[in-house]
Amino acid sequence: MLNQATIDLVKEFEGLRTTAYKDSAGVWTIGYGTTGRAGVGINPVEGMEITGAEAEYYLQKGLEKFSTEITGAITQPINENEFGAFVSLAYNIGSGAFKRSTALGKFNAGDKQGAANAILMWNRAGGRVLEGLVRRREAERALFLTPVRVDAPAQDARQDRASPAQSRTMQASAVSAASAVGSAVTAVSALDSVAQYIVLGFAGVGILMALWIMKERLRKWAAGDR
Protein backbone atom coordinates (compact mmCIF):
# COMPACT_ATOMS: atom_id res chain seq x y z
CA MET A 1 0.00 0.00 0.00
CA LEU A 2 1.54 3.27 -1.13
CA ASN A 3 1.46 6.16 1.32
CA GLN A 4 -0.19 9.48 0.51
CA ALA A 5 3.16 11.24 0.16
CA THR A 6 3.97 9.03 -2.83
CA ILE A 7 0.61 9.58 -4.51
CA ASP A 8 0.84 13.34 -3.99
CA LEU A 9 4.35 13.41 -5.45
CA VAL A 10 3.31 11.55 -8.60
CA LYS A 11 0.26 13.75 -9.05
CA GLU A 12 2.28 16.92 -8.61
CA PHE A 13 4.86 16.10 -11.25
CA GLU A 14 2.65 14.26 -13.73
CA GLY A 15 -0.09 16.88 -13.61
CA LEU A 16 -3.66 16.19 -14.67
CA ARG A 17 -4.48 16.37 -18.37
CA THR A 18 -7.89 15.07 -19.40
CA THR A 19 -7.13 15.46 -23.13
CA ALA A 20 -4.45 13.30 -24.73
CA TYR A 21 -1.08 14.98 -25.40
CA LYS A 22 2.46 14.03 -26.39
CA ASP A 23 4.97 14.00 -23.56
CA SER A 24 8.57 15.20 -23.78
CA ALA A 25 9.56 11.94 -25.45
CA GLY A 26 6.76 12.19 -28.03
CA VAL A 27 4.55 9.50 -26.45
CA TRP A 28 0.79 9.99 -26.35
CA THR A 29 -0.23 10.47 -22.73
CA ILE A 30 -3.37 11.26 -20.75
CA GLY A 31 -4.56 11.72 -17.15
CA TYR A 32 -1.72 11.61 -14.64
CA GLY A 33 1.00 10.62 -17.09
CA THR A 34 -0.75 7.43 -18.25
CA THR A 35 0.51 5.96 -21.52
CA GLY A 36 -0.38 2.85 -23.48
CA ARG A 37 2.87 1.30 -22.29
CA ALA A 38 1.55 1.31 -18.73
CA GLY A 39 -0.79 -1.52 -19.66
CA VAL A 40 -3.68 -0.36 -17.47
CA GLY A 41 -6.45 -0.61 -20.07
CA ILE A 42 -6.13 2.63 -22.01
CA ASN A 43 -4.16 3.58 -25.11
CA PRO A 44 -4.15 7.38 -25.49
CA VAL A 45 -4.44 8.74 -29.00
CA GLU A 46 -4.86 12.19 -30.48
CA GLY A 47 -8.21 13.74 -29.53
CA MET A 48 -8.97 11.31 -26.68
CA GLU A 49 -10.63 12.78 -23.59
CA ILE A 50 -11.31 11.31 -20.15
CA THR A 51 -12.81 12.56 -16.90
CA GLY A 52 -10.93 13.40 -13.71
CA ALA A 53 -12.39 10.29 -12.07
CA GLU A 54 -11.09 8.13 -14.91
CA ALA A 55 -7.67 9.75 -14.56
CA GLU A 56 -7.66 8.83 -10.86
CA TYR A 57 -8.63 5.26 -11.73
CA TYR A 58 -5.82 4.84 -14.27
CA LEU A 59 -3.33 6.43 -11.88
CA GLN A 60 -4.26 3.96 -9.15
CA LYS A 61 -4.03 1.03 -11.55
CA GLY A 62 -0.66 2.23 -12.78
CA LEU A 63 0.77 2.68 -9.29
CA GLU A 64 -0.45 -0.77 -8.28
CA LYS A 65 1.08 -2.30 -11.41
CA PHE A 66 4.48 -0.67 -10.98
CA SER A 67 4.50 -1.48 -7.27
CA THR A 68 3.97 -5.15 -8.08
CA GLU A 69 6.53 -5.18 -10.87
CA ILE A 70 9.38 -3.71 -8.83
CA THR A 71 8.71 -5.47 -5.54
CA GLY A 72 10.38 -8.70 -6.62
CA ALA A 73 13.53 -6.84 -7.67
CA ILE A 74 14.07 -5.33 -4.21
CA THR A 75 16.14 -7.65 -2.05
CA GLN A 76 16.76 -5.50 1.03
CA PRO A 77 14.32 -4.37 3.74
CA ILE A 78 12.64 -1.17 2.59
CA ASN A 79 10.41 1.37 4.34
CA GLU A 80 7.33 3.02 2.87
CA ASN A 81 9.07 6.26 1.86
CA GLU A 82 11.96 4.48 0.15
CA PHE A 83 9.51 2.23 -1.68
CA GLY A 84 7.31 5.16 -2.63
CA ALA A 85 10.26 7.02 -4.14
CA PHE A 86 11.16 3.93 -6.17
CA VAL A 87 7.57 3.49 -7.39
CA SER A 88 7.45 7.13 -8.50
CA LEU A 89 10.72 6.66 -10.36
CA ALA A 90 9.50 3.44 -12.00
CA TYR A 91 6.19 5.06 -12.92
CA ASN A 92 8.13 7.70 -14.81
CA ILE A 93 10.93 5.68 -16.44
CA GLY A 94 9.33 2.23 -16.66
CA SER A 95 9.83 -0.84 -14.49
CA GLY A 96 12.38 -2.34 -16.88
CA ALA A 97 14.64 0.71 -16.70
CA PHE A 98 14.20 0.84 -12.95
CA LYS A 99 15.29 -2.78 -12.53
CA ARG A 100 18.50 -1.97 -14.45
CA SER A 101 19.09 1.27 -12.56
CA THR A 102 22.07 2.13 -10.41
CA ALA A 103 19.61 3.28 -7.74
CA LEU A 104 18.21 -0.23 -7.33
CA GLY A 105 21.66 -1.81 -7.57
CA LYS A 106 23.06 0.34 -4.80
CA PHE A 107 20.01 -0.20 -2.62
CA ASN A 108 20.25 -3.98 -2.94
CA ALA A 109 23.95 -3.71 -2.09
CA GLY A 110 23.03 -1.98 1.17
CA ASP A 111 24.10 1.51 0.08
CA LYS A 112 20.98 3.55 0.75
CA GLN A 113 22.69 6.93 0.47
CA GLY A 114 24.17 5.88 -2.85
CA ALA A 115 20.75 4.72 -4.00
CA ALA A 116 19.20 8.06 -3.06
CA ASN A 117 21.88 9.96 -4.98
CA ALA A 118 21.54 7.67 -8.00
CA ILE A 119 17.88 8.63 -8.35
CA LEU A 120 19.11 12.04 -9.52
CA MET A 121 20.73 10.46 -12.58
CA TRP A 122 17.36 10.05 -14.31
CA ASN A 123 16.95 13.67 -15.37
CA ARG A 124 16.99 13.36 -19.16
CA ALA A 125 14.38 12.89 -21.87
CA GLY A 126 15.23 12.83 -25.54
CA GLY A 127 18.89 13.23 -24.65
CA ARG A 128 18.31 16.53 -22.87
CA VAL A 129 18.33 17.44 -19.17
CA LEU A 130 14.87 18.72 -18.32
CA GLU A 131 14.22 21.04 -15.42
CA GLY A 132 10.98 19.25 -14.60
CA LEU A 133 12.79 15.92 -14.31
CA VAL A 134 15.53 17.49 -12.20
CA ARG A 135 12.93 18.74 -9.74
CA ARG A 136 11.08 15.43 -9.73
CA ARG A 137 14.24 13.43 -9.05
CA GLU A 138 15.13 15.78 -6.20
CA ALA A 139 11.65 15.32 -4.72
CA GLU A 140 11.92 11.54 -5.02
CA ARG A 141 15.34 11.59 -3.38
CA ALA A 142 13.95 13.72 -0.55
CA LEU A 143 11.06 11.29 -0.04
CA PHE A 144 13.48 8.35 -0.10
CA LEU A 145 15.57 9.93 2.67
CA THR A 146 12.61 11.00 4.83
CA PRO A 147 12.53 8.88 8.01
CA VAL A 148 9.31 6.99 8.62
CA ARG A 149 7.81 8.05 11.92
CA VAL A 150 6.64 5.19 14.08
CA ASP A 151 4.31 6.27 16.87
CA ALA A 152 5.11 4.53 20.14
CA PRO A 153 2.09 2.67 21.54
CA ALA A 154 0.40 4.45 24.40
CA GLN A 155 1.66 3.05 27.65
CA ASP A 156 -0.85 2.24 30.35
CA ALA A 157 0.13 4.45 33.26
CA ARG A 158 -0.94 1.69 35.60
CA GLN A 159 2.03 -0.43 34.48
CA ASP A 160 4.45 2.11 35.98
CA ARG A 161 3.14 1.61 39.50
CA ALA A 162 5.63 -0.23 41.63
CA SER A 163 3.53 -0.31 44.81
CA PRO A 164 -0.11 0.11 45.91
CA ALA A 165 0.79 3.51 47.36
CA GLN A 166 1.19 4.83 43.78
CA SER A 167 -2.43 4.04 42.97
CA ARG A 168 -4.49 7.19 42.56
CA THR A 169 -7.42 5.43 44.21
CA MET A 170 -5.26 4.63 47.26
CA GLN A 171 -3.94 8.17 47.37
CA ALA A 172 -7.42 9.69 47.14
CA SER A 173 -8.76 7.36 49.83
CA ALA A 174 -5.91 8.25 52.18
CA VAL A 175 -6.57 11.95 51.63
CA SER A 176 -10.28 11.43 52.31
CA ALA A 177 -9.57 9.60 55.56
CA ALA A 178 -7.13 12.25 56.72
CA SER A 179 -9.54 15.02 55.80
CA ALA A 180 -12.32 13.34 57.75
CA VAL A 181 -10.14 13.09 60.85
CA GLY A 182 -8.97 16.69 60.51
CA SER A 183 -12.49 18.03 60.02
CA ALA A 184 -13.76 16.07 63.00
CA VAL A 185 -11.04 17.39 65.30
CA THR A 186 -11.67 20.98 64.22
CA ALA A 187 -15.44 20.73 64.56
CA VAL A 188 -15.59 18.88 67.88
CA SER A 189 -13.78 21.61 69.79
CA ALA A 190 -16.41 24.15 68.84
CA LEU A 191 -19.57 22.12 69.55
CA ASP A 192 -21.56 20.95 72.57
CA SER A 193 -21.54 17.32 73.61
CA VAL A 194 -24.55 16.18 71.54
CA ALA A 195 -23.30 17.83 68.38
CA GLN A 196 -19.88 16.39 69.01
CA TYR A 197 -21.29 12.86 68.93
CA ILE A 198 -23.07 13.59 65.65
CA VAL A 199 -19.95 15.01 64.03
CA LEU A 200 -17.84 12.11 65.26
CA GLY A 201 -20.42 9.69 63.88
CA PHE A 202 -20.29 11.23 60.40
CA ALA A 203 -16.49 11.39 60.54
CA GLY A 204 -16.38 7.74 61.52
CA VAL A 205 -18.53 6.79 58.53
CA GLY A 206 -16.22 8.74 56.19
CA ILE A 207 -13.14 7.08 57.63
CA LEU A 208 -14.68 3.61 57.36
CA MET A 209 -15.63 4.25 53.71
CA ALA A 210 -12.12 5.41 52.89
CA LEU A 211 -10.62 2.38 54.63
CA TRP A 212 -13.00 0.05 52.75
CA ILE A 213 -11.98 1.57 49.40
CA MET A 214 -8.32 1.18 50.30
CA LYS A 215 -8.95 -2.45 51.26
CA GLU A 216 -10.64 -3.13 47.90
CA ARG A 217 -7.79 -1.44 46.07
CA LEU A 218 -5.28 -3.66 47.89
CA ARG A 219 -7.33 -6.73 47.00
CA LYS A 220 -7.39 -5.81 43.30
CA TRP A 221 -3.67 -5.03 43.40
CA ALA A 222 -2.99 -8.49 44.77
CA ALA A 223 -5.13 -9.93 41.96
CA GLY A 224 -2.99 -8.15 39.35
CA ASP A 225 -5.25 -5.16 38.56
CA ARG A 226 -2.80 -2.26 38.85
The pLDDT tens digits for 128-160 are: 999 999 999 999 999 999 999 876 665 554 455
* DSSP-derived secondary structure for 29-94: EEETTEEGGG-SS----TT-B--HHHHHHHHHHHHHHHHHHHHTT--S---HHHHHHHHHHHHHH-
Catalytic residue among 14, 69, 80, 140: 14
Contacts of 200 (CB under 8 A, 6+ apart): 184, 188
Boundary residue ending a domain (145, 168, 195): 145
Whether residue 88 sits in one domain with residue 189: no
pTM (two decimals): 0.67
Boundary residue ending a domain (145, 177, 199): 145
Beta strands in the chain (DSSP E): 17-22, 28-31, 34-35, 124-125, 128-129
154 or 214, greater pLDDT: 214
Write out pLDDT tens, residues 87-134.
999 999 999 999 999 999 999 999 999 999 999 999 998 889 999 999
pLDDT (average), residues 69-76: 98
Q: Report the number of distinct structural domains present in the chain.
A: 2
154 domain-assigned: no
Distance of CA 17 to the CA centre of its chain: 30
Alpha carbon distance 93, 2 (integer Å) = 18
Whether residue 120 sits in one domain with residue 30: yes
> Does the pLDDT at position 25 exceed 80?
yes
Whether residue 29 sits in one domain with residue 105: yes
Whether residue 172 sits in one domain with residue 136: no
155 domain-assigned: no
Whether residue 165 sits in one domain with residue 131: no
Whether residue 167 sits in one domain with residue 127: no
32 domain-assigned: yes
151 domain-assigned: no
Annotated catalytic, 14? yes
75 domain-assigned: yes
141 domain-assigned: yes
Whether residue 82 sits in one domain with residue 121: yes
What's the CATH number where 88 sits?
Answer: 1.10.530.40
> Does the pLDDT at position 219 exceed 80?
no
Whether residue 121 sits in one domain with residue 53: yes
Whether residue 180 sits in one domain with residue 133: no
Whether residue 170 sits in one domain with residue 140: no
Domain that holds residue 61: 4-145
Whether residue 198 sits in one domain with residue 169: yes
Whether residue 182 sits in one domain with residue 115: no
Boundary residue ending a domain (82, 114, 145): 145
20 domain-assigned: yes
118 domain-assigned: yes
